[in-house]
Structure 1
Amino acid sequence: MESGNIVEYIDRQKIVCAVVMEVKNQRLRLLSENNREVKLSVNRLSHRARTGLDMSLNRDKLAETLKTIAQRRRTLAEAVEIGELWDVLNSEQEWIDLETMTEFCFPDDPTPDHEAAVVRAFFKDRLYFKFNHDRFFPYSEAQVEQMRAHGEEIARRNRIIEMGSHWIRRITEDANSPFDGATADEQQEFINILRSYYLFEKESPHSSIAKEMISRAGIDGGENLFHLFVKLNVWGQDENIDLYRYEVPTDFSEKLMAHTRQLLSSPPADSGNGIRRDLTGLRTMTIDGQATLDFDDALSFEEKDGHYLLGVHIADVGEFVERDSPLDREALLRGSSIYMPDQKIPMLPPSLAEGRCSLKAGEIRPAISTMIRLSPIGDILGYEIFPSLIRVTDQLTYYDVNMMAEENREIILLHRIAREFRQKRLSDGAVQISLPEVNIWLDEEGEVVVSKTNRESPGRLLVSEIMIMANWLMATFLSEQGLPAIYRSQPDPKERLYKSDEGSLFQNWMQRRLLSRFMLSTEAERHSGLGLGAYVTATSPIRKYFDLVTQRQIRSVFGLETVYTADEIRQMIQLLEQPMSCVSRLQYRRKRYWLLKYLETKTGQKEQAIVLNRRRNSYQALITEYMTECSLPLSSGIRLKPEDMIQVTIQHVNARKDIFSVFIG
């Protein structure tokens, strides 16, 4: 290597032609075709020629000559058919030196320019040969196919980023303006990529490409992306993003609906099947909220021979939903019906949940009945559980019952029985938490309506306590039969803040924080929170899969069902852990969204609050009107302590961003 030699090197993925001006300890000082001096190592050269230039020429002339040589070599490189060479040479699978490859490409007296042209051609198209300085190795057919697919994917990715970023800018400026740079299918692909990224962020398979599109479009992600979807009518302004994020099914497949229609085409159960007791002559009533359509529990009440006979009748869903049937698998996947202010997602198709399974007035329905014999002072004298047929006579609401609470003897007695049962539970160590329930729903005009319900009203207390009683007795029944079930238990609370049901609103709220987590197992254990020795949930089989499983265990006692083994129950508990966690998050987050949406219109409004505790830089308080917590910044000169009543002013609310800030008013 000496001064005047023509060489080439790679700079920013381009081959540059240069002449050696000086050689010193394997370091070269070069003049490039761009009339720039560069210094680099000999190892950086992609080609070196034996020919040279006259170094007596001035610098501009040298650069001009180099440009001419580079252009000549580019022209020669275009004539090299690398794909055809690979077709001939790939079967050999051995290294080929530059001189030999040049002779393959230019068989008639090749020159250094021809050699350099070969290097340029193979550098530009690296699909077929591995390139290592001055030798080449043909890839196998499988490698070429893989690299070709990879190259196509890269090209496709770059095309999506380029077109997608232009599309985002256009939509951001004017959603109604047509975009001719992409087809409808391509624009839908942009939407799918960005939607996936918005929902799953780093977990999205399109994360990198979406971030690049957004970056080139010059917008931030997050809310800007959400508003883009709203502009495109992909989502509504109040879209429930969690449904997509948690991949919650909101509809039933046509295949499942066809299965349901076939099931419903068979005649309903009647009193002549010989297994069930006919209780259709009993006067029975349902008590539910005004909007309820799926009635899964009913009550009957009789005064007999100096005692009371209380009946709790639960819709026998197992009669229609067979184990491991398509309906059963779908119900297991969902885990529970989901109730949100703006939407209800049922566990079972409505034609079943609100039709054949539902305890509708005037319709004969199969049920699992728990008949409880009570003394006049409310002591339980005995009980019996069996399959039955019932016909509901009265479809009542909580409001109806509250209105009847002081004049209807039956309601008065049921209310008294409920209160006595609660008192017994409290005497046995139950933790009674009495908090008002905030109800949120959308009216016919789509306006948010917020109200508070007193859970201690006669109607709600009556139903709540009698259902707890029924669940306890069904747990006792299954335990005495030696059957595994989804038993619920709960250790003692970490601390008790009050006795019986005498706690203040503050104490009730804080007591809830001190409860131990409930546990699910296949054997009955004490439920400290309820003050009961055994407990299951079986009174809502239309809405909850846990309850359906428990109901099936009861059915198995009467030969109506194959019993679940303990291992099967344990597996069921594991399978339901994820969907039930998802249901809880969805219900909580959607209720909070609509509450904050309501409070967005209340900025500047003053509200009463109770101080809960102090944190490092703030106080935590409970706004009593909405039973929701808020954070209060520490204010100089104001010292607060738990249970202080204060007034706060709503400062800023953003439902979409889950922001709720207040200050002491």
Structure 2
Amino acid sequence: MQLDSLVIFKNRPARVIGFVDKKVEIQLEDEKTVKLPEKNLLLLHDGGFKKFEVLTTDLGEGELIDAWGLLQGAKTNYSELSELIYGEYNCTTVYGTWQIVQKGLHFFAHEDEIGVNTPEAVDDIIKQAQEKAQKAQALETFITRLKQKTYAPEDEPFVKELASYALGQAAGCRFFKLIDKEETPVNAHALLLDIGYWDEFVNPYPMRLDAALQAPVFELPEMQSQSRVDLTHLASYAIDDEDSHDPDDALSFDETTQKLWVHVADPASLVDVDGEIDKEARARGSNLYLPEGVIPMLPHQITEDLALGLHPTSPALSIGFKLIDGEVKNIEIVLSTIKVTRLSYQEAEHKLTEAPFSHFVCFSNEFSSYRRMHGAVELQFSEVKLKLRDKKVNIIPLATLQSRNIVRDAMLMAGVAVATFADQHEIPLPFSTQPEHDLSEEEQTPQLMSEMFATRRRLQKGQYKSSADRHAGMGLNAYVQATSPLRRYLDMVVHQQIRRFLKSETLFSGEEILMRIGESESGIKAARQAESFSNNHWKCVYLMQNPNWQGEAVVIEKQQGNRVTVFIPGLSLIKKLTLAESAELDTTITVTLSDVKLATQDIYFRV
């Protein structure tokens, strides 16, 4: 290599202008200079290269086809190929030859030699290039239509790619940089709505949040054999929502012993510890409750076999106890057989003056008083239930019924009983705990809506522990959720552990309990997030179906200027609004629907 040689550096022509410290100094077309080892350069012409202008001459293809045919089955170099194509070898022709080789159609560069493509290879390269061009044209046409908020049947592969991203099944989507929009699943959802590929009845959130969308399907093992206490002589009542299909708890009162019994469905008798059903339920963490329906964590057949009141008798884990000065005492936990009558909350509401329901009321009242005396925080928020039927969304306010409070308190008492029993016998469980709060007595029982929300914000987050500890918000010294093993995985872990204790089998260690808590957390989080986003989605759809909606809102927080946060009881919805004038806390105002943005779940009201 000598001065004024024509070389290629990073696919750009360059001129050799010197040699410094075993390096070659080159000048690029923009007059920048670079020093680098000779091995980093491709030599095209040794000397004679003075001006870059000679490289701009359009030589055409010359005798390209003849040269290609002549060299079939051989290898060549730049000087020989230049002479065959253009009749001579100089800086201009060799650079034109290099450009032909770079195209890769008839020739290709391989180390220091130039290879020759066969006719079959050329045909294949041309075909691939045509297909690439067609795909590029199809993409360009799709992007044009996408900007115009439409699509054609031939765009289906592209639209499915967009939908995959909106559903969280792809990490990204290449179209957004082409339409100058931020790349987010929310924007993908909005585009799919804009072009009409999706409508409002597509709920992307369960899949986007990786929640399980189908019931698990497994062959069920045989029911574990065990002796059971016959409690069929007790009148047991499963009280639940009218449309509930998985009752997993029931109440009864024993007049002889004066004990309240909480009976709980017994899936632990059927689900083998660490078996495939157990591991699948652990991964899911809980049932998924959507307005569209329920996706259970356990196979449907388990619910059909073990839910209380679906058969003449039911196997159960029964928890009996008394209240002494509000404290849960004289605890008894047994594997049982019970006979259950199912009631709705409304039906139970009309029986509260009759036995045994009157006893349920007494237990509930005494226990509630005890919890309040020990720091329990009582918050009463309006709740609604969403139902989707035949593409119509209904929002149903949950009536404030004493029967609901009775069942809630019974489940809390049962949780205290199991936690106390476990603490006394040193049984590790997933105990629910919450650090102490610093609320005053008045703040623990807020009466106004704004006070309730302010109190809720001050409560610390609860956490699971493998040993008993206080749950300050409930006013309880020990508590464990144990009454929904068909619906919550950690409740089933409680049952598995208690069953092991009752049968004198080896218990899970505290570390094993914590491991099960950790392994179920992601599934529980996915289910709760999917439920929250899905409920908001269907609230948006409900308002789209009722564009003239109007309702009451309560001011729960004042912000800067006339900005306020309101709670809308009829929708169980919190929103920020700007008022025309200042409003005091707990003022009730009328709001009217203004607009709904489904993909972003933004709802706008005017006052």
**TMscore range, shorter length:** 0.7 to 0.9
| Structure 1 partner of 2:569 | 624
Q: What SS is found at the alignment partner of 2:484?
A: coil
| Structure 1 partner of 2:314 | 365
- Which has the higher relative contact order, 1 or 2, with Cα contacts under 8 A spaced 6 or more apart? 2
| Structure 2 partner of 1:422 | 368
- Alignment deviations for residues 197-247 of structure 1 (CA, whole Å, 9 cap, x no partner): 3344xx94453x34367679xxx953553137853xxx5532111122122
- For 1:350 and 1:420, the matched residues in 2 are separated by 38
- For 1:110 and 1:361, the matched residues in 2 are separated by 95
Give the alignment of 1:119-268 within 5 angstroms.
119-125=98-104, 129=109, 136=112, 160-167=135-142, 179=154, 189-200=157-168, 204-205=170-171, 207=173, 209-211=174-176, 222-223=188-189, 225-227=191-193, 230-231=196-197, 235-252=198-215, 256-257=217-218, 259-260=219-220, 263=221, 266=222
- For 2:583 and 2:482, the matched residues in 1 are separated by 45
Is there any run of 5+ residues in structure 2 with no aligned partner, and where? Answer: 14-25, 35-40, 116-125
Give the alignment of 1:416-565 within 5 angstroms.
416-442=362-388, 444-455=389-400, 457-496=401-440, 498=442, 501=445, 503-559=447-503, 562-565=506-509
Cα contact 1:164–1:213 (8 A) shared by 2? no
Return closer, same or farther for 1:278/1:194 CA change in 2, 3 Å cut-off. same
Deviation at 1:427, TM superposition (A): 0.7
Return closer, same or farther for 1:615/1:387 CA change in 2, 3 Å cut-off. same
Give the alignment partner of residue 591 of structure 2, picking from 645, 648, 654.
Answer: 648
Q: What SS is found at the alignment partner of 1:404?
A: coil
Return closer, same or farther for 1:226/1:562 CA change in 2, 3 Å cut-off. farther
- For 2:130 and 2:472, the matched residues in 1 are separated by 64
Give the alignment partner of residue 290 of structure 2, picking from 337, 340, 361.
Answer: 340
| Structure 2 partner of 1:321 | 271
Q: What SS is found at the alignment partner of 1:285?
A: strand
- Alignment deviations for residues 265-307 of structure 1 (CA, whole Å, 9 cap, x no partner): x5x67xxx55221222322110010111111111111212xx5
Return closer, same or farther for 1:359/1:278 CA change in 2, 3 Å cut-off. same
Cα contact 1:361–1:391 (8 A) shared by 2? no
- For 1:558 and 1:473, the matched residues in 2 are separated by 15
Deviation at 1:613, TM superposition (A): 2.0
Deviation at 1:606, TM superposition (A): 4.3
| Structure 1 partner of 2:259 | 309
Cα contact 1:525–1:534 (8 A) shared by 2? yes
- The two structures, once aligned, show a CA RMSD in angstroms of 4.4
| Structure 2 partner of 1:94 | none
- For 2:506 and 2:129, the matched residues in 1 are separated by 56
Deviation at 1:340, TM superposition (A): 1.6
Give the alignment of 1:565-604 within 5 angstroms.
565-603=509-547
TM-score of the two chains, using structure 1 as the length reference: 0.74
Deviation at 1:640, TM superposition (A): 2.7
Return closer, same or farther for 1:137/1:331 CA change in 2, 3 Å cut-off. farther
- For 2:504 and 2:387, the matched residues in 1 are separated by 40
Q: Letter of the aligned partner of 2:343 in structure 1?
A: L
TM-score of the two chains, using structure 2 as the length reference: 0.80
- Alignment deviations for residues 144-180 of structure 1 (CA, whole Å, 9 cap, x no partner): xxxxxxx99999877644334435667998989654x
Cα contact 2:253–2:259 (8 A) shared by 1? yes
Give the alignment partner of residue 404 of structure 1, picking from 324, 327, 351.
Answer: 351
Q: Letter of the aligned partner of 1:197 in structure 2?
A: Y
- For 2:461 and 2:579, the matched residues in 1 are separated by 32
Cα contact 1:556–1:563 (8 A) shared by 2? yes
Deviation at 1:610, TM superposition (A): 2.2
- Alignment deviations for residues 355-405 of structure 1 (CA, whole Å, 9 cap, x no partner): 112112443322111111356x8665512112112221x111101111222
| Structure 1 partner of 2:18 | none
Cα contact 1:348–1:542 (8 A) shared by 2? yes
Cα contact 2:163–2:188 (8 A) shared by 1? no
Return closer, same or farther for 1:221/1:658 CA change in 2, 3 Å cut-off. closer
Percent sequence identity is 23
Is there any run of 5+ residues in structure 1 with no aligned partner, and where? Answer: 16-25, 29-37, 53-61, 87-96, 140-150, 180-186
| Structure 2 partner of 1:35 | none
Cα contact 1:631–1:662 (8 A) shared by 2? no
- For 2:149 and 2:451, the matched residues in 1 are separated by 54
- How many residue pairs match? The answer is 569
Q: Letter of the aligned partner of 2:193 in structure 1?
A: H
| Structure 1 partner of 2:234 | 282
Higher deviation after alignment, 498-507 or 363-372: 498-507
Cα contact 2:149–2:191 (8 A) shared by 1? no
Higher deviation after alignment, 188-197 or 424-433: 188-197
